[in-house]
C-alpha cells in the first residue's frame, strides 16, 4: 500500500510541475505581439526573463530551507497560488511596470514550487528508486515547457490575454488538488533536536553551499543551465539569420528535441543510473552537450541541424535528473536546502546564459556556441577530477 501511495504522490508532483512549466512556456509565442501592445519589444522581454530568474534565484534557497522545517506540501500549495495569481495579473496588466512585477511574482511562485517538489521526491521514493522519481519529475518539467508554447499559440487565437487566464485556472486547480490529495510525509531523515540553525541570508547560504560535498554538482547545474539557456536563447535567431528558417521550422527544432528528452527521462534514465551510476551519466552528457553545441556550426541542412539540436536537448534533459539525484544522495537531512541551492544555481545560469549569449551573438553569431562549448568542457574537466578524488564517496552511494 505504501508503494501505491508514494506513486500517487509522485503523479501529483508531476502534474504540478507540468502545470508550472507549461504556464512558463505558454508566454513564449505570445510575448512579441503582447509586448507590442505596450510599445516595447526585445529588450523588455530580456529584462522580464531576467526578472523571473532573479526572483527564483533569491527565493529558491529560502523555499528549500522552509520545506525542511515546515514540510513540503504547504509550500507547494503556496507556490501554485502565487504562480497562478501572477499569471492573472500579467494578463490584466495595463502598465509596463505591472508586467515586470508579475514576472517577479511568477519567479517567486516557481521558487516555492521546484525545490520542495524535488525534496518531496526523496520523501516518497525509496533510495533505489530515487533516480526514477527525479527522471519522471524532470520529464514532466520538459513536457510542460515543450507543450506550453503550443498551448499559448492556440489559445491566443481567442485573445492575447486568454492563455494567462487558462494558466491561472490550471495553477489554482492544481493547488486545490494538492490540498486535498497530496500527502504530507515527514522527511526520511530529520535533524537532531537542538541542532536547528538560524535562518541564513542568501549570501550565507551560497557560501555554505561551497562547503558541501555536492558543491561541484551545483557548479555543474549552473553550467549546463547556462549552456541550455544560451542555446535556447540564440538557436532561433541563428537559424533565422543564417538560413531564413520559418517559425514553424524553428518550432520543430525545439519541439522534437524536447520530446526526445521527455522520452529519455521517462523510460531510459533509471536504467542508465542503475547500470552506469549518476556520475558517469553526468560526465558523458557534458561531453555530448559540448559536441552538439559546437556541432551546430558544422551542419547546414535542416535535418542535420534537427539531429544536432535533438542531441543537445537530450543530453541536457538527462543531466538535470542525474545531478538532482546525485545531490539528493549526498545531502542527508538537508534535502530542502540542497534542492533550493540547485534551483538557485540553475536560475543563476538562466540569468547569465541569455544575457551573455545575446551580447556575443551581436558580435558574431558563432560566438555563443564556441564559448558555450569551452565552458561545458571546462565543467567536464572539473567534474571528472572531482569524481576521481571522491571515488570512495560515490561508490558508497
> Residue 172: its pLDDT value, please?
96
- Its pTM stands at 0.73
* Max avg pLDDT among 282-286, 335-339, 342-346: 282-286
**Number of helical H runs and strand E runs in the chain:** 17, 0
Question: Taking the CB of residue 41, how many other CB atoms lie within 10 A of it?
Answer: 12
Share of the chain above pLDDT 70, in %: 90
Give me 184's grid cell: 504530507
- The C-alpha atoms of residue 259 and residue 326 are separated, in whole angstroms, by 24
- Closest CA relative to residue 34, chosen from 91, 84, 86: 91
Q: Which residues contact 127 (CB under 8 A, 6 or more apart)?
A: 329
- Closest Cα partner for 140 from 27, 245, 19, 238? 19
What confidence score (pLDDT) does residue 313 get? 86
Average pLDDT over the chain reads: 83
Percent of the chain residues topping a pLDDT of 90? 27
- pLDDT of 76 higher than 90: yes
Q: Which of 56-60, 244-248, 305-309 has the highest mean pLDDT?
A: 305-309
Cβ contact 146:24 at 8 Å = no
- Domains delineated in the chain: 1-184 (1.20.1250.20), 202-396 (1.20.1250.20)
pLDDT at 189 over 80: no
CA nearest neighbour of 114 among 308, 327, 361, 338? 338
Nearest alpha-carbon partner for 30 in 80, 86, 110, 87: 87
- Model confidence at 1, in pLDDT bands (50, 70, 90)? very low
Query: Among 110-114, 286-290, 347-351, 363-367, where is mean pLDDT lowest?
Result: 347-351
Q: Using CA atoms, how far apart are residues 378 and 382, in angstroms rounded to an integer?
A: 6
The pLDDT tens digits for 291-318 are 999 999 999 899 999 999 999 988 988 8
pLDDT confidence bin for 4, thresholds 50/70/90? very low
Amino acid at each position: 500500500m505504501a508503494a501505491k501511495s508514494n506513486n500517487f504522490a509522485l503523479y501529483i508532483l508531476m502534474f504540478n510541475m507540468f502545470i508550472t512549466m507549461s504556464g512558463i512556456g505558454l508566454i513564449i509565442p505570445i510575448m512579441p505581439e503582447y509586448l507590442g501592445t505596450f510599445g516595447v519589444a526585445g529588450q523588455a522581454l530580456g529584462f522580464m526573463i531576467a526578472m523571473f530568474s532573479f526572483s527564483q534565484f533569491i527565493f529558491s534557497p529560502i523555499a528549500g530551507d522552509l520545506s525542511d522545517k515546515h514540510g513540503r506540501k504547504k509550500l507547494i500549495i503556496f507556490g501554485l497560488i502565487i504562480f497562478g495569481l501572477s499569471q492573472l495579473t500579467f494578463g490584466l496588466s495595463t502598465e509596463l511596470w505591472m508586467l515586470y512585477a508579475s514576472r517577479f511574482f511568477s519567479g517567486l511562485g516557481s521558487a516555492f514550487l521546484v525545490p520542495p517538489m524535488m525534496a518531496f521526491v526523496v520523501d516518497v521514493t525509496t533510495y533505489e528508486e530515487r533516480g526514477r522519481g527525479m527522471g519522471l519529475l524532470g520529464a514532466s518539467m520538459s513536457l510542460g515547457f515543450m507543450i506550453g508554447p503550443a498551448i499559448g499559440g492556440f489559445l491566443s487565437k481567442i485573445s492575447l490575454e486568454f492563455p494567462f487566464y487558462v494558466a491561472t485556472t490550471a495553477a489554482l486547480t492544481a493547488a486545490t488538488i494538492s490540498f486535498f490529495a497530496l500527502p504530507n510525509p515527514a522527511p526520511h531523515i530529520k535533524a537532531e533536536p537542538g541542532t536547528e540553525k538560524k535562518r541564513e541570508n542568501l549570501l550565507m547560504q551560497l557560501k555554505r553551499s561551497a562547503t558541501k560535498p555536492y558543491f561541484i554538482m551545483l557548479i555543474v547545474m549552473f553550467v549546463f543551465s547556462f549552456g541550455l539557456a544560451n542555446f535556447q536563447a540564440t538557436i532561433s535567431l541563428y537559424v533565422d539569420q543564417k538560413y531564413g528558417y520559418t517559425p514553424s521550422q524553428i518550432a520543430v527544432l525545439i519541439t522534437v528535441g524536447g520530446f526526445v528528452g521527455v522520452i529519455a527521462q521517462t523510460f531510459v534514465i533509471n536504467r542508465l543510473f542503475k547500470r552506469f551510476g549518476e556520475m558517469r551519466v553526468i560526465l558523458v552528457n557534458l561531453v555530448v552537450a559540448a559536441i552538439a553545441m559546437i556541432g551546430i556550426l558544422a551542419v547546414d541542412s535542416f535535418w542535420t541541424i534537427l539531429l544536432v539540436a535533438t542531441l543537445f536537448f537530450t543530453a541536457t534533459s538527462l543531466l538535470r535528473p542525474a545531478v538532482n539525484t546525485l545531490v539528493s544522495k549526498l545531502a542527508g537531512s538537508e534535502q530542502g536546502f540542497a534542492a533550493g541551492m540547485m534551483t538557485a544555481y540553475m536560475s543563476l545560469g538562466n540569468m547569465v546564459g541569455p544575457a551573455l549569449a545575446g551580447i556575443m551573438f551581436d558580435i558574431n553569431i558563432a560566438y555563443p556556441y564556441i564559448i558555450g562549448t569551452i565552458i561545458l568542457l571546462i565543467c567536464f574537466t572539473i567534474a571528472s577530477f572531482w569524481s576521481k578524488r571522491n571515488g570512495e564517496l560515490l561508490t558508497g552511494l
